[in-house]
A and B are shown apart, each in its own frame.
Chain A
């Protein structure tokens, strides 16, 4: 594999993330991995945990740069370290571990509270989408995905699912969508609380 150019500037990285540039994403991923690996492994984590935390960190960055008003107020490296640290502390706390993270004195910390909570909100939304689709069953889940995500036409859907015409497909899609809405917008918070309780059994 050819050696990617690691000498991108921070703003090139941000721009590349925004536009979905795969080469830049790869370069970014390579460049900052060891910072997070070191942070996690030196603070009672495994390399698998480090990988998870790092990927979540990159996702936080990715989600936040999509905001039109996003500006980086520190070095990208500091941003990544700060996000990763926050995520890892949370993970440790969740595991009932009260370790204080050992600081390397030269590591600056940026305030990433809002950026991380945006990510957490998004994750909750994704869980809701995923569970609603799972509850929806088949052929509904595939049909909805085909229409709204893959952007297939009603004719294509009718053919794929074996409906006699696109009006039948339309009807079917309507029924599926109504059902999905019901699952997606129903009392999610109650169910989440129940799940937490039941996990302790």
Chain B
């Protein structure tokens, strides 16, 4: 039995008298064991306290709403005339700063943690936000009357195949708070994809295409490189900043990303909104990363999450069926001309369309 399982049993009174005694004497004798147990207990307590506190806060909000919610007049009853006359302007300023302070706290705590927020301030994430436009309708008409006309998506980006089982990978910020997600490309019709795993810290999400017919013949030609790549290596990417796939090439310029984050590469490829979630490939066609964002202030500076980090993350996040395709002894794409490589990769890179409830 794993230690954590033992800890859980002990905390839940699931051990019999003998086991309990043995457990407690081990706590006394084994310092490391005791330390691990205390850590475990601290975390589990914190989880439960957090939940309890959330519930209590919600309860207070509800009570307030029920008892005072509709009584808007309450606001000024107690305000003293003289005070607001003398300090009226200052009061307004103070009140508005208070409001801003409250709002910004909510923004930072409420939208997926400061780390993500922090990065989104300084790296432009490349999801393509679409205004309600006629684009989709125009396109539908121009491709002929048989075509289905789709409503414009709230957010678009890129995605690509993770393995032959219909799993695809993209950036978390693209599908965050999505209501429904679709993928399509030149060879595959628009189809629904379901979010199965998210790793907000690495800004990654794994989705699954459920339509068996569309994926049964998948032979993904690339695999994820488990080891790192050297600075100066030529790299390229394929993605959907527009309706058509766009190719970009450059080199790997640094082994760390924004803010010296070692989970990312810096690359010298001009990436654009919509490129988030594109594969970053080396000359042999191995996936070495997933395009994540770029620096707003600099041209042709992009960031990609390293493939090794992705493999590591998937090992801890998922069951065995959701792993990237393993490195072949001889990569399928090795030695092929770039144009030929692109032809083979093309069917496994997707335009991803995200719809959100307003």
Using a CB–CB cutoff of 8 Å, the interface residues on chain A facing chain B are 1, 22, 25-26, 29-30, 33-34, 37-38, 41-42, 44-49, 51-52, 55, 58-59, 62-63, 91-92, 94-97, 99, 102, 122, 125-131, 134-135, 137-140, 144-145, 148-149, 163, 168, 170-172, 174-181, 183-185, 191, 194-195, 198-199, 201
Contact = CB atoms under 8 A, between A and B. Distances in A.
Contacts of B245: none
B53 A174 contact: no
A199 B108 contact: yes
A174 B2 contact: yes
B80 interface: yes
Contacts, number: 166
A94 B50 contact: no
Interface in B253-305: none
A122 B56 CA distance: 14
A170 B319 CA distance: 11
Contact of A122 (B2, B53, B60, B78): B53
B263 to A, nearest CB: 12
B316 A175 contact: yes
Contacts of A181: 39-40, 43
Nearest to A20: B56
A81 B246 CA distance: 63
Interface in B22-69: 39-40, 43-44, 46-51, 53, 56-57, 59-61, 63-64, 66-68
Contacts of B121: 198, 201
A201 B118 CA distance: 10
Given A48-B99, A194-B118, A131 B53 contact: no
How extensive is the interface on chain B, given as a class? 35 or more
A94 to B, nearest CB: 7
B64 to A, nearest CB: 6
B112 interface: yes
A158 to B, nearest CB: 11
B90 interface: yes
Interface in B100-155: 101-102, 104, 108-109, 112-116, 118, 121-122
Contact of B118 (A92, A130, A195): A195
Contacts of A140: 317
B267 to A, nearest CB: 24
Given A126-B49, A137-B197, A29 B44 contact: no
Given A29-B63, A30-B67, A45 B317 contact: no
Given A135-B115, A177-B4, A201-B122, 18 more contacts: A22-B59, A37-B78, A41-B79, A42-B78, A44-B90, A46-B99, A49-B98, A51-B64, A58-B60, A59-B53, A129-B47, A134-B113, A148-B44, A148-B47, A176-B317, A178-B316, A181-B39, A185-B43
A138 B95 contact: no
B90 A179 contact: no
Given A177-B4, A180-B43, A138 B99 contact: no
A128 B53 CA distance: 14
A139 B197 contact: yes
Contacts of A95: 94, 97-98, 101
A55 B53 contact: no
Contacts of A171: 319
Contacts of A177: 4
Nearest to A1: B66
A199 B91 CA distance: 24
B75 interface: yes
Nearest to A54: B64
Nearest to B202: A137
A130 B115 CA distance: 12
A41 B59 contact: no
14 contacts: A29-B64, A44-B90, A48-B99, A51-B64, A59-B57, A91-B98, A95-B97, A127-B109, A128-B46, A145-B51, A172-B319, A174-B5, A176-B317, A198-B122
B222 to A, nearest CB: 24
A94 B60 contact: no
A127 B106 CA distance: 12
A131 B101 contact: no
B200 A44 contact: no
A63 B98 CA distance: 25
Interface string B304-320: 00000000000111010
B115 to A, nearest CB: 7
Contacts of A131: 113-115
A23 to B, nearest CB: 11
A30 B67 CA distance: 7
A135 B200 contact: yes
Contacts of A175: 315-317
A90 B114 CA distance: 23
Nearest to A126: B50
A138 B195 contact: yes
B201 interface: yes
A42 B83 contact: yes
A135 B108 CA distance: 14
Closest 6 CB pairs of A and B: A137-B198, A47-B75, A129-B50, A134-B113, A135-B201, A44-B94
